[in-house]
Structure 1
Amino acid sequence: MVNSNVGGFVLAKEILSVFIYVKDLEKSKQWYSEVLGLNFGGFDGNRTNQLGVGLVLFEKENFSPCSESLFVIQTSNLEESYNKLKELRVEVSEINREINCFNLKDLDGNVITVWQ
């Protein structure tokens, strides 16, 4: 962990959670479970910490999906991950060969980057 020291004041110790807004919580939990292999739980059933930082899904009727990447997932095999997502009919961008990554969109159009 790194402490951010701003003018003698410790601002941050670590990132605990990333909030993802979705239209339908149950459908999104199912999508994130089936596509990314995440299991949700916590006191309200919409949290996971399997990737090292907490991901929390929140249902919100009127929202705009995040068109820039919310977070980056590291994979050990970019091609295999890309092909599997395409098999699952997940919307993916072309692979950026210069930096070995591609983007995918969740059910609501939120962008996530996959990197190797």
Structure 2
Amino acid sequence: MKIAASPLTKKVNNVFIHVRDLHQSAEWYSQLLGLPYSQEKVVSPVYNLPVTSETGITLDDHTFDPGFKLQPSKHVLFNFYTNNIDDAYQYIKDKGIPIVREIERFDDFAYFNIQDLDGNILMICDG
């Protein structure tokens, strides 16, 4: 079977996280990632977190979409990477962020899941 060439690149360009309160979520994610936060730079309907990876993160409050109903994901949307799972776990715990799945360890990989302000599930992993 011959595979046709695709006009799509082989990378994820951006992740959208749907939120209720753009300012509150922008501050929460900025604190989580240790990013600078300026309330004046947060303008509805979207806020792009100033991450340093190729894949961007956009928070979206759907201000211009009155029919939108937020349905938080109860499944992992994506993961944040860490070099040290234990330090990351303690950091999250110290911030009072809900941990919804404790650390699970495998031979060369460990992860745990947290919940954001809107109830979305995110993973933190070291592999």
Give TM-score, length-normalised by structure 2: 0.75
Q: Partner amino acid for 1:58? A: D
Equivalent residue number for residue 48 of structure 2? 47
Aligned length: 112
Which structure is larger by alpha-carbon Rg, 1 or 2? Answer: 2
CA gap of 1:49–1:13, structure 2 versus 1, over 3 A, is farther
SS in structure 1 of the partner of residue 76 of structure 2: coil
2:76 pairs with 1:79: no
Equivalent residue number for residue 3 of structure 1? none
Higher mean C-alpha displacement, 89-98 vs 23-32 = 89-98
Cα RMSD (Å) of the superposition?
2.5
Q: Percent identity?
A: 31
Equivalent residue number for residue 115 of structure 2? 105
Distance 2:6 2:104 in 1: 39
Distance 1:84 1:43 in 2: 29
Contact 1:104/1:113 (8 A) holds in 2: yes
Query: 2:28 pairs with 8, 27, 31, which one?
Result: 31
Q: Which runs of 4+ in 1 moved over 4 A?
A: 39-45
Query: 1:8 pairs with 5, 15, 18, which one?
Result: 5
Query: Unpaired runs of 5+ in structure 1?
Result: 1-5
